[in-house]
Structure 1
Amino acid sequence: METILGFDFGLKRIGVAVGNTLIRQAQPLTIINEPTNDGKFAAIASLLEQWRPARCIVGLPLHPDGAEHEMTLRCRRFANQLHGRFGIPAVLVDERYSSSVIGSERGSRIDDQAAAIILQQYFDQHGET
């Protein structure tokens, strides 16, 4: 059994979810709301120390037609930073429709729920991990 963390990356907040390969169910964990990149990565380091995930899943935002945009590049960079800073594999998962599952009101602090949906999509797409 492996623990896996899922991330919904945003410029202001990062939603985090947790799950494992045994029960394959993602659960919202927390929202990182630090004003600086150093603060965000310190909070992530603490979560990685606590949960010791085998890999991290990062939502990859795309336009409905699959085209990339500015946040796509930022999410790719974030995934690369997770891998580079912490040595943990980071897998990108298409998150185009995750927001529609929980609603489009980003002001309601749903980032951890979005992270859970992204992680659940990963579990659903990757039978055995």
Structure 2
Amino acid sequence: MTRLLGFDYGLNKIGVAVGQTLTRSASPLTILRARHGKPDWPSLAALIEEWQPEAFVVGLPFNMDDSEVDWSPRVHRFGRQLEGRFRRPVHLVDERLTTIEARRLLREGHAGNARSPVGVDALAAALILETWLSEQDAV
């Protein structure tokens, strides 16, 4: 079994989820604050120490025309920094529509509620991680 951490990177907040390859499932974990796109590295390091993931999955935002969004270079940089700081592989996955799906799930009561402490960003991170896990079946 491989444990992974998934991330929904944003300039102000970073949703975090934990998942594993045995069940190919993920659960929302928390939301970390970011300042102007700079992650809270000490809090992130504490999560990595606690969960001991073997790899990271980071959502990469795309436009509907399959082009990357204008702030995608920041997501690539976050991925490179994760890999460099924590010496674990980083996998990027298309995160298109995950935040919309997370909001829908919360609104319909399928994943807590809109006031849940987990929040939209952590649920989006779980969806991103599950997307990557499901793609591993196809390989």
TM-score (norm 2): 0.83
Q: Is the Cα contact below 8 Å between 2:99 and 2:120 reproduced in 1?
A: no
Aligned to 2:133: 123
Task: State the match for 2:69 in structure 1.
Answer: 69
Structure holding more strand per residue: 2
SS of equivalent residue, structure 1 residue 43: helix
Structure 1: unaligned runs, 5 residues or longer:
none
**Cα 1:78/1:34, change in 2 over 3 Å:** closer
Runs of at least 4 residues off by over 2 Å: 34-37
Distance 1:19 1:82 in 2: 17
Instruction: Give, in angstroms, the shift of residue 34 of structure 1.
Output: 4.6
CA distance in 2, matches of 1:69, 1:30: 25
Q: Partner letter of residue 134 of structure 2? A: D
Q: What's the secondary structure of 2:130's corresponding residue?
A: helix
Matched, 1:48 2:45: no
Question: How much has 1:85 moved relative to structure 2?
Answer: 1.0
Q: Distance in 2 between matches of 1:42 and 1:74?
A: 19
Aligned equivalents of 1:63, 1:34: Cα separation in 2: 23
SS of aligned partner of 1:88: coil
> Is 1:29 aligned with 2:22?
no
Q: Aligned equivalents of 1:128 and 1:26: distance in 2?
A: 18
- The alignment partner of 1:76 has SS state of helix
Identity %: 41
Give the match's secondary structure for 1:56. strand
Displacement of 1:103 in angstroms is 3.0
Q: Distance in 2 between matches of 1:111 and 1:69?
A: 18
> Which consecutive residues of structure 2, in runs of 5 or more, have no partner in the other structure?
105-113
* 8 Å CA contact 2:4, 2:53 repeated in 1: yes
Distance 1:69 1:123, change over 3 A: same
Q: What root-mean-square deviation, in Å, do the aligned CA atoms of Structure 1 and Structure 2 show? A: 2.3
Partner of residue 114, structure 1: 124
Counterparts of 1:96 and 1:12 in 2: how far apart (Å)? 19
| Preserved contact between residue 11 and residue 34 of structure 2 (Cα < 8 Å) | no
